[in-house]
Amino acid sequence: ENINKDITELTEEIVKEFYKEVEDIGNNGHGAVYVDYDIVTNTDKWFTLKLTVTSVRGSGSVYFKYYHIDRSTGKNVYLADIFETSDYSTIITENIKEQMRQQMKSNSDLTYWVDSEDLGFDFAAVSDSHNFYFDENGNLVIPFDKYEVAPGYMGHPEFTINKNEIKKIMKDKYTNIFK
């Protein structure tokens, strides 16, 4: 019910903003907004829904929002909820930064905002409510929106954290959601 309510409110806000912009520009432009969903995980223990919001007005933007339900409790779950300790953010962030460094080292066409003080900003850390999902192998995947950690040409980067690297800091019930 909470997820349905949140999706309804989000969709209504998106539509409201779209129609306000249509009213503001009148017949001087074209635009569209599209909201869709995918079921990422649907097991006896876990449910993940991915909401995709696409907005087109001269240029386009896409962003994602993930919703998770622990089926044993029926409650919504956020990134911070799956870990035993609060230092999970530092561990995950450092893992992601190392992946960024390795990818840039392997391919000079890739750019992430890490160790980039000359740009005036740097990827700081994942938050307690950051988007995430588990892949089919039970690894934690941290997706980012376009421009969040890299220039626009990099799209929507995702980083996979091997479950064995974080298992010791995860709550036991979330280490094997696919069994």
More confident residue, 31 or 119: 31
pLDDT single digits (tens) 81-119: 999 988 999 999 999 999 999 999 999 999 999 987 666
- The pLDDT value given to residue 81: 96
Instruction: Specify the higher pLDDT residue, 4 or 50.
Output: 50
pLDDT band at residue 70 under the 50/70/90 scheme = very high
Does 120 score more than 60 pLDDT? no
pLDDT value, residue 61: 84
The pLDDT score that the predictor gives to residue 121 is: 67
Query: 75 vs 1, 72, 102, 118, 140, CA distance in Å?
Result: 10, 8, 37, 43, 19
- Which pTM does this prediction carry? 0.87
39-54 CB burial, b ≥16 within 10 A, e <16: ebbeeeebbbbbbebe
27 or 105: which leads in pLDDT: 105
Q: How far is it, in rounded angstroms, from Cα 172 to Cα 30?
A: 50
pLDDT above 90: residue 11: no
Instruction: Give the count of beta carbons closer than 10 Å to the beta carbon of residue 65.
Output: 16
